[in-house]
Structure 1
């Protein structure tokens, strides 16, 4: 993934990542999904 693609993906998902981080110990961000591990 090129840096501009990464930036665009993270920009769209960042609020969801922060919200998921509150209840999970680890949050993995993939191109097509977000995964939270407790």
Structure 2
């Protein structure tokens, strides 16, 4: 996080948006896999 804050404001926002995007993708994938696992059972 400290590395991100040391960047210029514009870059920081882009980096944060990137992180959020990655996190949301992971959440979505986790949900999809969770449902797949439930269906298999």
Smaller-chain TM-score bracket: 0.3 to 0.5
TM-score by length of 2: 0.32
Of Structure 1 and Structure 2, the greater strand share is in 1
Of Structure 1 and Structure 2, the greater helix share is in 2
Greater relative contact order (CA < 8 Å, ≥ 6 in sequence): 1
